Structure 1
Amino acid sequence: MTETFDPAKHLTIFHDAINALDYQTIERYFADDAIYVSGGVGGRIDGRDAIMIAFRKYFDAYPDQVAEDTLVENVGPLAARSVWKLNAIDSRTGQPMVRTGEETLTFNAEGKIIRIDVTDY
């Protein structure tokens, strides 16, 4: 019997990889043609390679980020949503950053992320 895909479980694994700065796991989760949409990164990023460049740039600036999901739920058979909060210090300026928001991850049939939509509150 094949295990049913649980998007919320995979969102949690993906977020754990981000908190650990496990770039190898993060990259494996993205489909080649994934799309990342967030006002926090200036809009839309197309493709796994470009997304990974943006992730590395962001975590170079905020390497101590601590993020916590306050809610994780499935919103479809291949999509999950999280509500989160995070704290970090800008390594360039020493200024603290606090953000809250929500994120929806959409997966393809192979369990790869094809789209992430982030909304800051």
Structure 2
Amino acid sequence: MAFDPVEEIKLFHGAINALDFQTIENYFADDATYVSNGVGSLAGREQIMTAFRKYFDDYPDQTAIDMLVEKVSPRAGRAVWSVRATHSGTGKPLIREGEETITFNEDGRVTHVQVTDYQAF
């Protein structure tokens, strides 16, 4: 069966929405990079997962909806999403909208995530 980046992004985002950290971690290649205008540049699965865990400690009630997931190459896809969450410490709401391009290697692991927030409130 041919690799489908759209299906893999949907599964990856499903794991994130379920806070399934083991599955999230398994998606990332050891040398993955994650670049976001919100969190900066992260290098390596360990650093990425540390950031994920901290983010979800702060925003455990996050709900994310993909409005569009499309293939951009045989091993990459683009997702346009909307996020709603509440900070666990301050109670301040977080509303984010943006997009990300996710690139996979030949083993189906995420090698690069490029996140662009349209706006954060």
Give the TM bin, normalised by the shorter chain: over 0.9
> Residue 21 of structure 1 aligns with which residue?
19
CA–CA distance in structure 2, aligned partners of residues 73 and 57 of structure 1: 29
Q: Secondary structure at 1:40's aligned position in 2?
A: coil
CA–CA distance in structure 1, aligned partners of residues 95 and 62 of structure 2: 10
Q: In the alignment, is residue 95 of structure 1 matched against residue 71 of structure 2?
A: no
Shift of 1:32: 0.1
1:68-83 → structure 2 map (5 Å cutoff): 68-83=65-80
Aligned with 1:5 (options 3, 6, 19):
3
Identity, in percent, stands at: 60
CA–CA distance in structure 1, aligned partners of residues 73 and 106 of structure 2: 13
Q: 1:49-93: CA deviations, max 9, x gaps?
A: 000000000000000000000000000000000000010000110
Name structure 1 gaps, 5 residues minimum: none
Q: Secondary structure at 1:110's aligned position in 2?
A: coil
1:41-80 → structure 2 map (5 Å cutoff): 41=39, 43-80=40-77
TM-score between the two structures when normalised by the length of structure 2: 0.97
TM-score between the two structures when normalised by the length of structure 1: 0.97
